Amino acid sequence: MRYLLDTHALLWALGDPRVVCRPARDVLASAANIIFVSSASLWECAIKASIGKLELPDHVFDAIPETGYEVLPIRLSYLNAYRALPLQHRDPFDRMFVAQARAEFLILITRDPEIAKYDVALLRC
C-alpha cells in the first residue's frame, strides 16, 4: 500500500514513534508499504521552525531519505486539484495533502478530523 504522512504524523514518526497510533505504526514498520512525505510538510516545518513555533533538529530534513520515506514534490497537477477542492478546511497544507493523496491514490495518515470532510482515503490516528 501507499501512504502519505501529514505533518504531525511525520514529526511523531521521526521524533517519538510511540505517539503514533498502533495502526499507523504497523503501516510504517512494514517494508511492504511505501511512505510518502509531502514537500508541503517540510515547508510547513521550516516555516514554523523559523518563527519559533517548532523546534527541529538541525539536520531533520537530511534524515528523511534515511527513513526510507519518499519526498513527494508539489506538482502543477496537484495545484490544479487543490484549486478544485471545496473550502471545507482552511489549512493550506492539509488541503495540499488531500490534493496529493487524491491525485496519487495514497492513503493519508492524519489525526485531523477536518480532513475527513473530503473524499480521500484516510488512516485516522
**CATH assignment at residue 76:** 3.40.50.1010
Residue 99 belongs to domain spanning: 2-124
Report the pLDDT averaged over residues 11-21: 87
Contacts of 34 by beta carbon, 8 Å cutoff, 6+ apart = 1, 2, 3, 70
Segment 68-74 shows an average pLDDT of 96
Answer for the pair 100, 72: CB distance below 8 angstroms, yes or no: yes
Whether the CB-CB separation of 81 and 70 falls below 8 Å is answered with no
- Indicate if the pLDDT at residue 37 is higher than 90: yes
Count the domains in the chain: 1
| Chain-centre distance for alpha carbon 69 | 11
Look at residue 120 and tell me whether its pLDDT is greater than 90. Answer: yes
Q: What does pTM read for this prediction?
A: 0.94
Predicted local confidence at residue 47, as pLDDT: 96
50 pLDDT band, cuts 50/70/90, is: very high
* Residue 89 pLDDT: 86
Confidence band for 91, pLDDT divided at 50, 70 and 90:
very high
Residue 15: the pLDDT is 85
